[in-house]
């Protein structure tokens, strides 16, 4: 993507045996003091495969791993890299989510993958970022971070490389496929995070899912969907519509060209309605 900056682009479909539960994008940044991995993969064995891929690019050790959120493929490979001596970094809000959902995430992967999940253990980050913005110098390279209270998961963290104008959005940005609103998601924080991402004016964005993209596409396929859904559900709540009617009356057609839209949208819409009711 740029000098010393790499991305792995995963499948846009679901978790499968073929992709070993890793249907997400990852990043690698080479610094003068070692390699920085952005997200560690879905299992111990996928982390080992990621490390093999890193070794084809550089002889540098992986000294730091940044987890951009609490979804399984963002952090369940941590144990492998910790054993290699890497420091694990995340936002402080990610750890309670990891502890709460990690056991269920791992159980689901074991059911799907069988022996391919062997060796995977819950390994939590030890260096925790606080607040809405942070800055670290890792191996002589500046990394900036923004957290706006969550998004897809409570610990969703965006990573900015100012020297190359590249952003790793984690699960704040989805392109090519529809984003997924989970029970732990906050669409309000998600919209705020997308606005904060736009303030960087990145040349290129590595989304959580989908092809490497730009701000215009990220806005059209993530921000516009969330904002339209929040506005619609706000009106529905104010008018006293029940959740089923609110979901049915939302115009999802502009987003139906995205993969998984038919499957994911009804749940996204109902969870957004319930979130706005709580607000």
**Hey, where are the domains in the chain?**
5-214
- Residue 165: the pLDDT is 98
DSSP 213: B
Q: If you average pLDDT over every residue of the chain, what do you get?
A: 97
**In the chain, where does DSSP find H-type helix?**
44-57, 72-75, 78-83, 94-113, 187-200, 215-218, 224-239, 243-248, 261-278
User: Mean per-residue pLDDT for 36-49?
Assistant: 98
- Residue 167: the pLDDT is 98
Q: Which residue has the tokens 């978790």?
A: 15
User: Mean per-residue pLDDT for 176-183?
Assistant: 98
- Give 45-84 pLDDT, tens digit per residue: 999 999 999 999 999 999 999 999 999 999 999 999 999 9
The Cα 196–Cα 190 span in angstroms is: 10
- Give 197-208 pLDDT, tens digit per residue: 999 999 999 999
With b meaning 16 or more CB within 10 Å and e meaning fewer, what string describes 90-100?
A: bbebbbebbee
278 SS3 class: helix
- pTM, two decimal places: 0.96
73 SS3 class: helix
- Residue 226: the pLDDT is 98
Residue 136, Cβ density class (10 Å: 0-12 exposed, 13-18 middle, ≥19 buried):
middle
- Residue 250: the pLDDT is 98
Beta bridge partners, 38, equal 27, 66
- Residue 24: the pLDDT is 97
CATH topology of domain 5-214: Metallo-beta-lactamase; Chain A (3.60.15)
User: Mean per-residue pLDDT for 234-263?
Assistant: 97
């Amino acid at each position: 993507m740029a000098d010393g900056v790499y991305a792995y682009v995963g499948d846009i479909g679901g978790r499968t045996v073929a992709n070993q539960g890793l249907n997400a994008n990852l990043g690698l940044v080479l610094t003068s003091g070692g390699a920085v991995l952005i997200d560690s993969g879905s299992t111990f064995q996928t982390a080992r495969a990621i490390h093999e891929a890193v070794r084809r690019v550089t002889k540098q050790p992986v000294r730091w791993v940044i987890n951009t959120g609490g979804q399984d493929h963002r952090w369940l490979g941590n144990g492998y890299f910790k054993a290699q001596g890497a420091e694990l970094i995340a936002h402080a809000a990610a750890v309670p989510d990891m502890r709460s959902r990690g056991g269920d995430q791992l159980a689901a992967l074991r059911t799907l993958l069988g022996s391919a999940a062997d060796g995977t253990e819950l390994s939590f980050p030890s260096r925790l970022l606080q607040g809405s913005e942070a800055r670290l110098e890792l191996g002589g390279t500046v990394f900036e971070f923004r957290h706006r209270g969550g998004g897809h998961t409570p610990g969703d963290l965006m990573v900015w490389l100012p020297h190359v104008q590249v952003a790793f959005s984690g699960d704040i940005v989805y392109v090519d496929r529809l984003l997924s609103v989970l029970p732990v998601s906050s669409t309000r924080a998600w919209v705020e995070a997308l606005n904060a991402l736009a303030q960087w004016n990145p040349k290129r964005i590595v989304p959580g899912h989908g092809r490497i993209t730009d701000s215009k596409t990220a806005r059209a396929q993530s921000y516009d969907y969330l904002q339209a859904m929040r506005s619609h559900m706000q009106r529905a709540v104010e008018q006293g519509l029940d959740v089923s009617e609110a979901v049915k009356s939302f115009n999802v057609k502009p987003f139906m060209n995205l993969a998984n839209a038919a499957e994911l949208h009804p749940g996204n819409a109902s969870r957004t309605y319930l979130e706005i009711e709580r607000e």
